[in-house]
Amino acid sequence: VQLVESGGGLVQPGKSLKLSCSASGFTFSSYGMHWIRQAPGKGLDWVAYISSSSGTVYADAVKGRFTISRDNAKNTLYLQLNSLKSEDTAIYYCARGRTGYFDYWGQGVMVTVSS
């Protein structure tokens, strides 16, 4: 199992960014997937989930601003981040879902929101 995130960077407040997570080593379409973030020097916060059938759930802090999606043909998970705030600055990890918990994680991608 391998998960590789990309798309991070420095972005101004109010702007948008789209993260990608490329999956390999397992049947991507059969698994729910998550995004989890970690602000610098802080703990872990779950952000969003998409089921194998593309049902979605979001944390209150990002609901209405972030959109999780998937392309099973490309074995890729996405997170569209809109209306970014400074408090969204974090490392964003994608993780595979497994009957509730997260078993495999990517290496993470840094998103910095600053003017």
Site string for another protein, 28-47 (x = CB under 8 A): ------x--------xxxx-
Residue 101 Cβ vs another protein, minimum distance, rounded to whole Å:
4
Specify the amino acid at residue 88. Answer: D
Residue 31 DSSP label = S
Subset of 12-31 contacting another protein (CB under 8 A): none
Q: Cα-Cα-Cα-Cα dihedral of 32, 35, 66, 49, to 10°?
A: 30
**Neighbour count for residue 98 (Cβ, 10 Å):** 11
Nearer to another protein, 57 or 112 (CB): 57
Specify the amino acid at residue 20. Answer: S
Please give the size of the binding site for another protein, defined by CB under 8 A.
19
Q: Which residues pair with 10 in a beta bridge?
A: 112
For residue 66, state whether it binds another protein (rule: CB under 8 A): no
Residue with tokens 């600055």: 89
For residue 101, state whether it binds another protein (rule: CB under 8 A): yes
For residue 57, state whether it binds another protein (rule: CB under 8 A): yes
